[in-house]
Structure 1
Amino acid sequence: MAMYDAVVIGAGIEGSATAYTLAKNGQRTLLLEQFPLPHSRGSSHGQSRITRIAYASDDHYAVMMKEAHVLWRDLERESCINIFENCGYLSVGTPEDPFIKDTLTSLRKHGVKYDIISHNDIKSRYPMINVPASTIGVLDHSGGILRADKALSAFQECFKRHGGTINDGEPVLQVIPGDVVTVKTSKSTYQTSHVVITVGPWTTKFLPSLGLHLPMKPIRISVHYWKEKWRGQYSIQKFPTFMYGSVYVMPCFEYPGHVKACLHDGPEIDPDDRDAVNTNYVTETVQKYVSEHLPGLETVPSVTETCIYTMTPDKQFILDNHPRWKNIIIGAGFSGHGFKLAPVVGKLLSELVLRRQLSYDLTKCRIDRFLPPKHQL
């Protein structure tokens, strides 16, 4: 029976970042994935994610993002893969909007270069955005696009270079706790000193067998691509990533001549039956948004894909030891904003495995915030 220092279950971006960090720290590490890689069934596929340093309401993530930005650059150098496209991130809202106020506070506090753009300047700089006269823009120069598929591949390839092993197409059937943890899969049985569980939307199905019932819900995100009416108006050379209201927008990057515009919400699903829900209201909401605010785009999406968020009630991550078995570590509930922070998440989960001093205060990410007082440690 194979013995490892650590077994990471789930090879999405958070699990892959964690496995990479553990292997880089000399740990004999196995990374298990239930599906053949690469796949599009979870939360880490696709070619792009928005990234930025400023966080409007969660300053502890802004602090982490400063390091994440550095670590992404480090991964680029180690892997020789281009991961970050620095086209900027534009927040749009009224000057009184708490989102705008908090974004400015975060940018100033963390010394991030930014511009405040008047409504007239928005029209001048970005004529293909139509927003109300009452709005302003805040351009975060640190923002842009992470090449998601390249980032995932970089972590996995560098993990293997550091001696790590990836077994894909191997679902985990059982985790048996103990001083030495036994992990039974569809193909084999492994023993390990530590297990890290990063199974994304399957967390709510996986954890009850370990006595945990956490209030997370997977939701389906419809990812729409909208064709330009005039080619080049929304190119990455001219157009930033931006968010106004609950819709986020990326310039033409993945599909030639197509803008990515998505609602930051969706219906609750079973990750094993994600297409069973009706998402017409999501498409209709974004369609109305595109018609009103992006006049240079066709009003019917050319391509629609699917992603999954795993939401916690407070939209804070779960990064913690199991309340009973400290050698079982859980990373979950990334609530639609975990990808950009993956290098730091991997570092923190590795610190929990290695029992090192944590680099950040994880009070807001503890499991016991969801447990009755008598179960809190």
Structure 2
Amino acid sequence: MSDEIYDVVVVGAGVEGSAAAYYLAKRGKKTLLLEQFPLPHSRGSSHGQSRITRKAYSQDFYTEMMHEATDIWRQLEREAGWEVFRQTGFIAIGQYKGDFLEDNISSLKRNNAQFEYLTPVDFRRRYPMLRYPNDFSCVADPDGGILRADKALMAYQTMFKTFGGRLIDGAMVTNIKRGNIVTLETPNATYRGRSVIICPGPWASQILRPFGVKLPLKTLRISVMYWKERDNGSHASSKLLPFYEKAVRRCRGYDVYGLPNEEYPGHVKICLHSGPDIDTELRDQADDKWVIDLMKGYVREHFPSLEPSPSIVETCIYTNTPDEHPVLDYIPGNRNIVVGVGFSGHGFKLSPVVGKVLGQLACGETPSYSLTPFRIDRFPPQAGL
């Protein structure tokens, strides 16, 4: 074991862990970032070409966070020297005057964010490639857009190292020993830090169990589907914005999200915001036929100018909490061990601010935002430790 002691050791080099490490190194903290897999990899939740970013949220605290997150994305982009964020705009689709769109508008208003509320007639006129019920419309968020996910993750890690951080991949943490100095064991080496941030993604249950923490987390396998345009370019970002659609009847109450023709030429990304429960280590054995069948019907009904079967299907993992808000908090009884987990498929866009508040917690500081919605004790103790 080396005598070297880091200010903070971050476990997990997905987007949230990498954002926290970037924030700390930029502040001059001696920071180590450990990743269990050789980088880059596609076993977690942070890989892929694109993610949606938006300020349009039903919850005020997310809209508030996204003001600063958007600024940090722009700053990271300038530092790295390549595109991370493309500001195309975003639309939230739902029933006109229904709770979903009205809640988005209320949050945007309270946070002084720009938006446009289209009538159903204007919605159909602006997006003629879509076919929704006549009482559907959208809230347009001009500050939203597309995050280049792989490039964003690479930017965090590149700038983390530029600011003096140390990144070690292929280093699975097998044991964490608590104390004033925390000791982290891996198969090949042992590391020490004054504070630790754990961002374990879908491996949360395994790594938190020795702390006596059992959260009500579900890991889901998401089928990332791409649908071919019948007319090439008909769903480019100049015509169709990234979207999130709330609980259409055909999808049994599940939500749907999508991005325009930006990744694979002539293909639109449309996915169910859910999937089958999985064991993280057996993810490739999950049966997602019901998801694909459900989405075939959805695309056939609402996107008539796309082929009704996906021509490309990739996979990702969500780690969901019951309320779909992450846990950003100290491990109970440990003021130098912080956890960030349970991002429920919408955490990528928030990572600049998530990384900041996790870093502030690790430094013993008061976070810049109220973390009440993200406290670990909002879930009652779980049996079966």
TM interval, shorter chain, is over 0.9
Counterpart residue number, 1:86: 87
**Structure-to-structure mapping, 1:91-170, within 5 angstroms:** 91-170=92-171
Secondary structure of 1:243's counterpart equals strand
Aligned residues between the structures: 372
1:222-279 deviation digits (Å, cap 9, x = unpaired): 1000000000100122210112231111101110110000000111111111011211
Counterpart residue number, 2:204: 203
| 1:45 alignment partner AA | H
Moved more, 107-116 or 1-10: 107-116
| 2:202 alignment partner AA | P
Partners of 1:60 and 1:296 lie apart in 2 by 37
Partners of 1:250 and 1:118 lie apart in 2 by 22
Counterpart residue number, 1:16: 18
Moved more, 254-263 or 127-136: 127-136
Partners of 1:33 and 1:82 lie apart in 2 by 25
1:109-137 deviation digits (Å, cap 9, x = unpaired): 22222222222222222211111111122
Counterpart residue number, 2:324: 315
Counterpart residue number, 1:77: 78
Secondary structure of 2:185's counterpart equals strand
Partners of 2:181 and 2:380 lie apart in 1 by 26
Partners of 1:371 and 1:134 lie apart in 2 by 40
C-alpha contact (below 8 Å) 1:220/1:308 kept by paired residues: yes
Secondary structure of 1:172's counterpart equals coil
Counterpart residue number, 1:66: 67
Counterpart residue number, 1:188: 189
Counterpart residue number, 1:298: 307
Pick one of 352, 362, 371 that aligns with 1:362: 371
Aligned-residue RMSD, C-alpha: 1.2
Moved more, 33-42 or 271-280: 271-280
Pick one of 279, 291, 295 that aligns with 1:270: 279
Pick one of 323, 339, 350 that aligns with 1:341: 350
Counterpart residue number, 2:252: none
Counterpart residue number, 1:41: 43
C-alpha contact (below 8 Å) 2:223/2:275 kept by paired residues: yes
Moved more, 208-217 or 198-207: 208-217
Moved more, 5-14 or 110-119: 110-119
1:317-360 deviation digits (Å, cap 9, x = unpaired): 10111111111110001111110000000000000011112101
Residue identity (%): 50
Counterpart residue number, 1:326: 335
Secondary structure of 2:349's counterpart equals helix
Pick one of 256, 276, 279 that aligns with 2:265: 256
Partners of 2:105 and 2:373 lie apart in 1 by 23
Secondary structure of 2:56's counterpart equals coil
TM normalised by structure 1 equals 0.96
In structure 1, the gaps of 5 or more residues are none
| 2:53 alignment partner AA | T
TM normalised by structure 2 equals 0.94
C-alpha contact (below 8 Å) 2:325/2:374 kept by paired residues: yes
Measured after TM superposition, the shift of residue 82 of structure 1 is: 0.9
Measured after TM superposition, the shift of residue 372 of structure 1 is: 4.6
Moved more, 120-129 or 209-218: 120-129
Partners of 1:92 and 1:346 lie apart in 2 by 29
C-alpha contact (below 8 Å) 2:318/2:345 kept by paired residues: yes
Partners of 2:110 and 2:7 lie apart in 1 by 40
Counterpart residue number, 1:4: 6
1:53-93 deviation digits (Å, cap 9, x = unpaired): 1211x211111111101111111111112111111111122
